[in-house]
Amino acid sequence: MRGLIGLLVVVWLVIGAAAAWQRGYFGDDQEVSCSTFGDTALTVVAGPLNYAGVNPKVDCELPEAPRPSE
């Protein structure tokens, strides 16, 4: 039973990776930021739901680095 569940999880993630690839998230011209990384990760995790109309998006901003005191 564990083997079947493991296989289903792998197939789910492969389908999600295919959806992310089709959307161009793995291209060299892609800007690397918090939201693009999040979009890519959520698309992979969403798996086959991407083909049912799910288009996960992340809106995040990283905090600014603290400035050293003078």
Q: Whole-angstrom Cα distance, residue 51 to residue 54?
A: 7
Q: What is the pTM of this model?
A: 0.75
Summarised one tens digit per residue, pLDDT across range 1-30 is 889 999 999 999 999 999 999 988 887 776
pLDDT given at position 10: 95
Summarised one tens digit per residue, pLDDT across range 28-60 is 776 777 888 888 899 999 999 989 988 888 888
pLDDT given at position 70: 64
Q: Whole-angstrom Cα distance, residue 24 to residue 18?
A: 10
56 and 44 in contact (C-beta within 8 Å)?
Answer: no
